[in-house]
Amino acid sequence: MTRMVPTFFIIGERKCGTSSLFRYLADHPQVLPGKRKEPNFFAHPPEYLRTHWEEYLANFPETGKSSATLIWPELNAQGILYEEEVTYVRTAAGITITGEASANTFFDVPPEIVKEFLPEIKLIVLFRNPVDRAYSHYRMLRRFTDEGRVIGWQLGTFEEELDREMAMIRDGNYGQLLAPSSYILKLPAWVEHFGWENIRILDSQRLDTPGTLKETMVDLYRWLGLEPIANGRYPRYNQAPPEAIPAALRDRLETYFRPYNNALFDYLGYRLLWE
């Protein structure tokens, strides 16, 4: 029994719309998704990866299979996580690719590790306004603690967490809110290992309005070698109830991220919509 090897990999960043993007790709008639959106395989040490490769591939459909069931984590209207099963049925002749979206990969995994195991993979990276991404990540951690999950430390207020992480950065360490939102810290290494031809950077704000969303998806379908379906349905997934950032903290974060954003735009050669 052989398994499909992923063709695309949404490597990040967390809280930037990766869940919705994965579902949009999974809904394409030439895509058959794996069991889990985020197997998080590459978070393990390299020696583990080399001895458990077949377990990773077991997440993906059998070659020639025409159906698959995705175990999908979703947020309800109250922001509580639950799981549902989504079954996809394809004509065998139409199945072309599969993929995954372990969104911690961009920041947490050395790109050379992914390159060793998936040298031909096409990488997709979503960048969101870093202020909003950081606050959304904090809200996710707060939800985890409310659910009784262990995150490894006593979570404080958003302002307390910002103070803690800024102190960590001064000491040469990283937290989960600020550094993963400073996209320029990691992007050059991914480009060095995979080349621009195998990386697609998406501005998450383009997924927020129907016109630019459809345009973005058609372009992405073409890049992946898929038929450019222009009339797809694009609901939002895993969207927590809105909650505003206190104005003073937003101003503080905009000042903090400005040099990182400018360095990113210089590297890309263009500015993103959220600036």
> For residue range 31-73, what is the model confidence (pLDDT) as tens digits?
999 999 999 999 999 999 999 999 999 999 999 889 999 999 8
Name residues whose C-beta falls within 8 Å of residue 7's C-beta, 6 or more positions apart in sequence. 96, 97, 98, 99, 121, 122, 224
- Distance between CA 255 and CA 129 in Å, rounded? 13
pLDDT for residue 22? 97
pLDDT for residue 235? 82
Residue 131: which of 12, 273, 257 has the closest Cα?
257
pLDDT for residue 230? 66
Residue 125 belongs to some domain of the structure: yes
Helix axes 158-170, 247-268, angle to 10 degrees: 40
Regarding predicted confidence, which is higher, 92 or 223? 223
pLDDT for residue 241? 80
Residue 92 belongs to some domain of the structure: yes
pLDDT for residue 94? 77
**What is the model's pTM?**
0.95
How do beta strands 122-127 and 99-100 pair?
A: unpaired
Centre a 10 Å sphere on the Cβ of residue 142 and count the other Cβ atoms it contains: 18
CATH of the domain at 187: 3.40.50.300
* SS3 of residue 86 by DSSP: strand
Residue 127 belongs to some domain of the structure: yes
Query: Mean pLDDT, to the nearest integer, of 226-237?
Result: 82
If pLDDT is split at 50, 70 and 90, which confidence band does 231 have? confident
Please state the domain count of the chain: 1
pLDDT at 171 > cutoff 70: yes
pLDDT for residue 91? 83
Which tens digits make up the pLDDT trace of 175-209? 999 999 999 999 999 999 999 999 999 999 999 98
> Which has the minimum average pLDDT: 91-95, 150-154, 198-202, 213-217?
91-95
Residue 1 belongs to some domain of the structure: no
Residue 274 belongs to some domain of the structure: no
Could you tell me which residues are beta bridge partners of residue 3? 62
pLDDT at 78 > cutoff 80: no
Give the pair of three-digit tokens for residue 222. 């073409």
Query: Mean pLDDT, to the nearest integer, of 131-147?
Result: 94
Residue 2 belongs to some domain of the structure: no
Percentage of residues in the chain with pLDDT exceeding 90? 81
The residue behind tokens 């799981």 is 83
Query: Mean pLDDT, to the nearest integer, of 266-271?
Result: 98
Region of 214 (left: φ > 0; alpha: ψ -120 to 50; beta: rest) is: alpha
User: Which residue type, as a one-letter code, is found at position 157?
Assistant: T
Query: Mean pLDDT, to the nearest integer, of 99-124?
Result: 98
Q: Which domain holds residue 216?
A: 8-268
